[in-house]
């Protein structure tokens, strides 16, 4: 399959979206970070000496959405109109799942923004908690849903 990120000479390029029509677009991504039981308890009780881990991870994720085009070389800078970050703590497998929903009306999708935010949420949790648990593992970063644009709807099964 030919990649749209390369020209006829094989050189990298930003995809030309100038002739596309704007449409409502949504992208949902998740990340999951596993940790020790005590670390999850510390997060859930808000007992970390550095502050509210999830509140800081939420802000970091939102900030990363706005910076995605600066981090991913061929991403378009797009106007993101909404970002929601939801955290689910799972005491069965001692993990935190970050679910990111991004919305825009634009000519190009925002899957990379949602994936970046999910990654940064997990990385922020790791950074804040590494002093008490260096064994944490970020084992999932994945796109769950995308809608809008020519390619339509994608839902992970």
In tens, the pLDDT along 22-62 reads: 999 999 999 999 999 999 999 999 888 888 999 999 999 99
Known active-site residue 133: no
* Cα distance between residue 92 and residue 89, in whole Å: 9
Q: Provide the pLDDT for residue 114.
A: 98
Residue 74 belongs to domain spanning: 23-151
In a domain, 53, yes or no: yes
Q: Give me the pLDDT at residue 10, please.
A: 74
Residue from 16, 52, 86, 127 carrying the catalytic annotation: 127
- What CATH number is given to the structural domain containing 74? 3.30.70.640
Whether 1 maps to a domain, the answer reads no
- Tens of pLDDT along 83-93? 999 999 999 99
Tell me how far apart the terminal alpha carbons of the chain are, to the nearest angstrom: 23
* Count: domains in the chain: 1
Domain assignment present for 104: yes
Signed CA dihedral, 119, 124, 127, 133: sign only: negative
Identify the pLDDT of residue 13.
76
Give the residue, 8 or 77, on which the prediction is more confident.
Answer: 77
Is 13 part of a structural domain of the chain?
A: no
Helix (H) or strand (E) holding 31: strand 23-34
- Averaged pLDDT score across all residues of the chain: 93
In-domain check, residue 2: no
pTM (two decimals): 0.91
| Cβ(33)–Cβ(137) below 8 Å | yes
Dihedral of the CA atoms 123, 68, 109, 27 (nearest 10)? Answer: 20
């Amino acid at each position: 399959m030919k990649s749209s990120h390369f020209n006829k000479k094989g050189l990298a390029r930003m995809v030309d979206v100038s002739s596309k029509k704007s449409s409502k677009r949504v992208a949902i991504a998740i990340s999951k970070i596993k940790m020790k039981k005590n670390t999850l308890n510390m997060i859930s009780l808000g007992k970390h000496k550095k502050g509210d881990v999830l509140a800081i991870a939420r802000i970091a994720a939102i900030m990363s959405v706005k910076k995605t085009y600066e981090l991913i070389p061929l991403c378009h800078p797009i106007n993101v109109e909404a970002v929601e970050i939801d955290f689910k703590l799972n005491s069965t497998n001692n993990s935190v799942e970050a679910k990111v929903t991004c919305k825009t009306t634009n000519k190009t999708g925002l899957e990379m923004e949602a994936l970046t935010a999910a990654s940064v949420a997990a990385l922020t949790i790791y950074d804040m908690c590494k002093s008490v648990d260096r064994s944490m593992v970020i084992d999932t970063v994945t796109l769950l849903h995308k809608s809008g644009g020519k390619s339509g709807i994608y839902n992970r099964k």
